[in-house]
Amino acid sequence: MTTDVTEHEEPGAMSSTDSATPTRAPHRDLPTGRGPERRVGGGLFDPGQLLTSLPDALGKLHPRVMIKSPVMFVVLVGSVLTTALAVKDPGNWFGWAITGWLWLTTIFANLAEAVAEGRGKAQADTLRRAKTDAVARRLSGGTEEQVPGAELRVGDLVVCEAGDIIPGDGDVVEGVASVDESAITGESAPVIRESGGDRSAVTGGTKVLSDRIVVKVTTKPGESFIDRMINLVEGAARQKTPNETALNILLASLTIIFLLAVVTLKPFAIYAGADDQTSLIVLSALLVCLIPTTIGALLSAIGIAGMDRLVQRNVLAMSGRAVEAAGDVSTLLLDKTGTVTLGNRQAAEFVPVTATTAAELADAAQLSSLADETPEGRSIVVLAKEQYGLRERHAGELEHAEWVPFTARTRMSGVDLTEDGTARKVRKGATGAVLAWVREHGGALADDAEGTANAISQAGGTPLLVAVEDGKGARVLGVVHLKDVVKEGMRERFEELRRMGIKTVMITGDNPLTARAIAEEAGVDDFLAEATPEDKMALIKREQAGGKLVAMTGDGTNDAPALAQADVGVAMNTGTSAAKEAGNMVDLDSNPTKLIEIVEIGKQLLITRGALTTFSIANDVAKYFAIIPAMFAVAYPGLDKLNIMNLSSPESAILSAVIFNALIIVALVPLALKGVRYRPMSADRMLRRNLGIYGLGGLVAPFLGIKLIDLLISLIPGIG
């Protein structure tokens, strides 16, 4: 039975298809990985994963791969140079020690990236197992022919019935069917796909569970949704984002500056008579310690891990640029139905008219809703149970019941009963339709019925009138107040976004009065009522003209222009192919609220990159105070005052700094992959927090770490 469409129903209300679909549970705040398909191995330092990633890390030592990261390429060159010098002087233990730790520094950096890529490959393997080379039943001239799925081309029509695997991505152009998408989304509940609506898109590799549909293929072989997911999560299609490229340029510039500084130390050392303290091995070690190797080693892993966190939450980002843009979003456009609100109107109150009790109204409303399987009908039954204890109907009351289904013409539904020879008719529906029914049956209209209904409408609710005809004649009993219920916790979430400096705008097809009531209850900053596709586009362009980045969600073909215009366009997987092509992200769970989570993941990516960059540069400052005084203290005794760590010898100081430089990369890999914990706060407060934690921590950690390593080295006979 379909939902009651009243005179006040908004254009964006959930359709009967939505309510009949056995889809997911209601909104889940901050969902994690979905089902076994999304669980990828053990922890961040799972021995099996490290062992699997080690060959990839060694393979990345090729110069053509290393040169993509200028900082680590310099470390590779230094490793090769010190190796040659150590071979030339095999008795020099110091040269071999420096050489070994420089190679470990290079391998650790590659291992961080390899582990991040390995997590993506593990996810890709589960997707690859889900990919099936199906045989397609292609329609040609009104007849069917069986062809391999790989031979399908854009525009081909294929028939799929119960038990068939859908051979390629496309849109349903005929029929309606229940489809199992668990291979893609991790959800066991089937979904409904039908022609002619915003739920027509199907994905290759999913399975038809019932009925028959005709699908129009929209992608070429090898370019399906699953193929793109595999390429993206494996990192094969990952390109550096603008911010990542800019940071690489900065790191390369710092590397060149430190390279020039280290080169000039040699003539100074010769002039000062400290030439033996500035061998090529020492200078190589000094250069590696001074350039920002920490962030240079982890930069790629941070970007890959950001994409990985989205995939774990069933969001497919078409590029790293989209993830990065999500972190800079300043305006969030949210559809009301299903995002801000539950999407299904719920019964909130029984308002009786004069001379009628609320219990009598609740009894009639529940009776007329017993066969109504829509969310609105079920909520009326539940509210009557909760408020008036109406739970069971005796067998005689419903024995001869004739249920009156809702139709678009009558705009009413109800039940006709016969009990002890007395006929009783109960109706509920739109205000005008029920009032006309009462007049038609010779009943008197209650003076306050229409006024109550109008008051509910002006407050943003939806009124359903309930009337009865029995031995007392036809009359209106009262009004059921239906509300589009705001999701629990949304006001708090919007408050968090406000603290982050993000403006929230609710988009709805409701009239302005209804939109304002919902907006005030939910706590959004602004709203756009009676929205058309053109209105959405105009709003996005207006925000962008003010220098703001805009994010929005959508699922219909009419949302495609706005999704393409937005800086972050999140298309629902249940939506049309046009919407998914226009957006730069696809939410496999089709949960519009996920947009808030995507923004948080994007911000976490930017914060992680900034925090580790701050830590890395602060590290370099501390290592400078460890190495330089030790190198020149012999020639310039006054520099010994700068040896604040009181390191045991120049060789021990340099070796300790190199060892610390390698180990700190390993220590920071979990943070790079997991991300710095994100807390909603203003930008200036966040900057102060990161400088206090990672700036100060980056200065203090090397002093403690290098001193501890120096103490351990000094205990080795013949070295200390």
Which residue, among 593, 591, 599, 557, has the nearest Cα to 575 in the 3D structure?
A: 557
Round to whole Å and give the CA distance between 74 and 86: 18
> Which amino acid type is present at position 265?
L
Using alpha carbons only, give the angle 144, 179, 236 rounded to the nearest 5 degrees: 90
Q: How far is CA 420 from the centre of its chain?
A: 60
Q: Is 309 annotated as a binding residue?
A: no
Round to whole Å and give the CA distance between 438 and 129: 62
β-sheet bridge partners, residue 177? 193
Q: Does residue 334 come out as left (phi exceeding 0), alpha (psi in the -120 to 50 range) or beta?
A: beta
Q: Is 409 annotated as a binding residue?
A: yes
Q: Is 350 annotated as a binding residue?
A: no
535 an active-site residue?
no
Q: Is 412 annotated as a binding residue?
A: yes
Strands 503-507 and 331-335: parallel
Q: Is 372 annotated as a binding residue?
A: yes
Could you tell me if 191 and 207 are in contact, meaning their C-beta atoms sit under 8 angstroms apart? Answer: no
Q: Is 376 annotated as a binding residue?
A: yes
User: Do you know the residue count of the chain?
Assistant: 720
The first and second tokens of residue 383, run together, are 């509210």
Q: Is 238 annotated as a binding residue?
A: no
Q: Is 407 annotated as a binding residue?
A: yes
> DSSP letter at 634?
T
Could you tell me if 3 and 410 are in contact, meaning their C-beta atoms sit under 8 angstroms apart? Answer: no
From 335, 484, 510, 587, active-site residue: 335
Q: Which helix (H) or strand (E) holds 64?
A: helix 63-66
CB contact set of 78 (below 8 Å; sequence gap of 6+): 102, 284, 285, 287, 288
Residue 224 dihedral angles phi and psi, to the nearest 5°: -70, 170
Residue 139 dihedral angles phi and psi, to the nearest 5°: -85, 130
Task: State the greatest distance between any 2 C-alpha atoms of the chain, in Å, as a whole number.
Answer: 121
Specify the 3-state DSSP secondary structure of 331. strand
Give the count of beta carbons closer than 10 Å to the beta carbon of residue 67: 11
Could you tell me if 259 and 340 are in contact, meaning their C-beta atoms sit under 8 angstroms apart? Answer: no
The first and second tokens of residue 612, run together, are 């580790």
Strands 143-148 and 201-202: unpaired
Quick one: 278 exposed, middle or buried, by C-beta within 10 A (0-12, 13-18, 19+)?
buried
Q: Is 408 annotated as a binding residue?
A: yes
β-sheet bridge partners, residue 77? none
* Three-class secondary structure assignment of 394-417: CHHHHCCCEEECCCCCCCEEEEEE
β-sheet bridge partners, residue 216? 157, 171
Which residue, among 325, 257, 241, 245, has the nearest Cα to 617 in the 3D structure?
A: 257
Round to whole Å and give the CA distance between 619 and 700: 8
Specify the 3-state DSSP secondary structure of 425. strand
Residue numbering of the annotated binding site for ATP: 372, 376, 406-413, 428
Residue numbering of the annotated binding site: 372, 376, 406-413, 428, 555, 559
Q: Which residues are catalytic?
A: 335
Residue numbering of the annotated binding site for Mg(2+): 555, 559
